[in-house]
Amino acid sequence: MRHIISIRDMDRGEIDAILDETERIQEGRYDPHSLSGKILALLFFEPSTRTRMSFESAMARLGGTSITVGSVEATSIAKGETLADTIRVVSGYADAIVLRHPREGAARLASEFASVPVINAGDGAGQHPSQTLLDLYTIRQSMPLDNIDVGLLGDLRYGRTVHSLASALGLYRVRLHIISPEGLELPPALTTELREQGMEVIEHSSVEEALPLLDVLYVTRIQRERFPDAESYFNVAASYRITPDLISSKAKQHLVILHPLPRLEEIDPGVDSLRSARYFLQAKNGVPVRMAMLGRVIP
């Protein structure tokens, strides 16, 4: 049984195979009935628009069905049921489970109790592997994943998308530029691990400094829900913003700007119409990438 819990469980061969399959799917080369009769359970204990709907859309495009619960308040979790018991039960209703949970490690725990494959759709500040696969896919649409400079901007401490993405980029020949408000740096253990793997990781004090070097700029919002209190959030909120002027004065012509979304103040809407802005395309790529993932894990 194949779970997808962390991008760190995958090697480059496996990631490339999923991206190649995504490309075939996008060209229309897939069987729209391949998951007919199969059921996917979506268990989302945190808000989601893209991840949840694109998994549903992916399942429907392969002929399968999705089941879900309206909200945590509407489930037995609200009565005090453990995650382990919920997962054991839902395993009996579906052929795979997609789980989003506020606690880091929840998906790994769930996989120990599940009798069907579990896909991690975000575990607290931990990992978000399906997002990373669609991030890599979107980069690969514009340039090879080798010998490029990728900048990560924003909340690198609590952002699970950047944790997953940084680990995945460690498998490719990528120079990583990190730019974050004070106190929201990439976890030191991750930075050390990436450097030990041979990755060049360069810290910058401002986006202006990093921008001229970059082929890809990956922007993230500050993860307000993971802050211990409102004050520490307001100290860093709105401390960086990408504007059309900044892009035209500092960026390379071919820069690709990505964002996992939702976007708050960190990208000026004026950037949306620039050729560099690829974040809505990136969100759209979530469907074929998740089709490729579902095709792999559902027996």
Q: Residue numbers of the site for ligand NCD (CB under 6 A)?
A: 50-51, 122, 128, 131, 160-161, 220-221, 260-261
> Please, what is the minimum distance in Å from the beta carbon of residue 79 to ligand NCD?
26
Residue number with CB closer to ligand NCD (128 or 157): 128
Q: What is the dihedral of CA 97, 102, 108, 112, to 10 degrees?
A: -60
Whether 160 and 123 have beta carbons less than 8 Å apart is answered as: yes
> Please, what is the minimum distance in Å from the beta carbon of residue 32 to ligand NCD?
25
- 178: exposed, middle or buried (C-beta count within 10 Å: 0-12, 13-18, 19+)? buried
Residue number with CB closer to ligand NCD (38 or 40): 40
Residue number with CB closer to ligand NCD (221 or 290): 221
> Please, what is the minimum distance in Å from the beta carbon of residue 212 to ligand NCD?
26
> Please, what is the minimum distance in Å from the beta carbon of residue 69 to ligand NCD?
18
- Among residues 79, 81, 80, the alpha carbon closest in space to that of 89 is found at 81
Contacts with 284 (C-beta within 8 Å, 6 or more apart), sequence order: none
Q: For every residue of 51-99, which 3-state class applies, written as one string? A: HHHHHHHHHHHCCCEEEECCCHHHCHHHHCCCHHHHHHHHCCCCCEEEE
How far apart are the C-alpha atoms of 258 and 224, rounded to whole Å? 20
Task: Name the token pair of 239.
Answer: 């401390």
Positive or negative, the CA dihedral 142, 289, 145, 170 is positive
Residue number with CB closer to ligand NCD (122 or 288): 122
> Please, what is the minimum distance in Å from the beta carbon of residue 122 to ligand NCD?
5
Residue number with CB closer to ligand NCD (122 or 170): 122
> Please, what is the minimum distance in Å from the beta carbon of residue 8 to ligand NCD?
17
Residue number with CB closer to ligand NCD (252 or 263): 263
Q: Which residue lies nearest ligand NCD, judged by its C-beta?
A: 260
Residue number with CB closer to ligand NCD (181 or 260): 260
How far apart are the C-alpha atoms of 218 and 37, rounded to whole Å? 38
> Please, what is the minimum distance in Å from the beta carbon of residue 151 to ligand NCD?
17
Contacts with 73 (C-beta within 8 Å, 6 or more apart), sequence order: none
3-state secondary structure of 257: strand
